[in-house]
Amino acid sequence: MNLSISNLSKTYSNGLKALNNINLEISSGMFGLLGPNGAGKSSLMRTIATLQEADSGTIMLGDIDVVKQKDEVRKVLGYLPQDFGFYPKVSAWDMINHFAILKGISDPKERKEICEALLNQTNLFEARKRNIGDYSGGMRQRFGIAQALLGNPKLVIVDEPTAGLDPMERNRFHNLLSEIGENVIVILSTHIVDDVRNLCSNMVIMNQGTILLSGKPAQTIENMKGKIWMKMIDKEQLTEHKAAHKVISTKVVEGKIQVHVYSETQPDTAFLPVHADLEDVYFATITN
């Protein structure tokens, strides 16, 4: 089953153009949607998840018209929004059982087996009787994925799932997403470059409601080969370097400024070549 998005546009009442003629073809596996805050990622996710209407365009999930057949989409959709609401004084078991009832799993025995399997899959079964309010941030995100997987969805959308997680929980969450992505479409919306590099076979970079780049992460890095240059400068030199070169990123290293510059040729002999990574691709793309 593929997700096909054609000519999708959305402008909010305040005049903000959140989506500008989006065209995407997404197949099974992990798909990364990368961009800064305000890029339009959440607007696109909410539109695919039938939570808001687009002004124009079409979305097809296999044979399902997402715009016209919202109930059919919701039967095969799993969604973990950026801000996942929960009742803090309700146990994980009671909560997922409640979600399963809402999902239409009416047989008690079947529901019990499904809930147990999902809590085991997300490594929460031993903590199933604890209130969700007592969970760590990573445990809550894993519970969010558990509820998103109810009903064997064909499409799973996760919006900024690893923001604020510690490295161990982030790694655990990555492993979980990779496992899920073997059989269904998983759209990972994030501004964290490493999440896309580690997980996704295909991706797009978007900003200000527009898709700027699409492709396989490894291929986009290869296309940047020989075009990223590095130089250590004093802080006072940064302004003149920004005026003279396409500076795509800066960071402080031992009191000096390390600048990365995008250029087809070596800007000058003081610049050293850099092995480009996805972060360089990202910054070079959004600073165009």
Tokens standing for residue 239:
């302004």
**Confidence at 174, pLDDT banded by 50, 70, 90:** confident
- Beta strand pairing status for 246-253 and 256-262? antiparallel
Which residue shows structure tokens 């200000």?
A: 208
Residues of the chain above pLDDT 90, percent: 76
Name the strand (E) or helix (H) holding 114.
Answer: helix 108-121
**Confidence at 163, pLDDT banded by 50, 70, 90:** confident
Tokens standing for residue 93:
């078991």
**Dist. CA 118–CA 150, nearest whole Å:** 8
pLDDT reported for residue 86: 79
DSSP 200-254: -SEEEEEETTEEEEEE-HHHHHHHTTT-EEEEEE-GGGHHHHHHHSEEEEEEEET
Contacts of 126 by beta carbon, 8 Å cutoff, 6+ apart:
none
Q: Is the dihedral of CA 82, 85, 86, 88 positive or negative?
A: positive
- Structure confidence by residue, pLDDT tens digits, 22-58: 999 999 999 999 999 889 998 999 999 999 999 999 9
**Dist. CA 264–CA 273, nearest whole Å:** 11
3-214 in CATH: which number? Answer: 3.40.50.300
Tokens standing for residue 141:
């995100």
Class of residue 109 by CB neighbours under 10 A (exposed 0-12, middle 13-18, buried 19+): exposed
- Structure confidence by residue, pLDDT tens digits, 55-91: 999 999 999 999 999 999 999 999 988 777 778 899 9
pLDDT reported for residue 285: 95
Amino acid at 229: W
Cβ atoms < 10 Å from Cβ of 113: 12
Domain residues of the chain, as ranges? 3-214, 222-286
Q: Is the dihedral of CA 52, 57, 62, 68 positive or negative?
A: positive
pLDDT reported for residue 278: 95
pLDDT reported for residue 282: 95
Tokens standing for residue 9:
């546009």
- Structure confidence by residue, pLDDT tens digits, 211-267: 999 999 999 999 999 999 999 999 999 999 999 999 999 999 988 999 999 999 999
Cα-based distances in Å from 119 to 96, 110, 181: 9, 14, 18
Average pLDDT, the chain: 92
The predicted model scores a pTM of 0.89
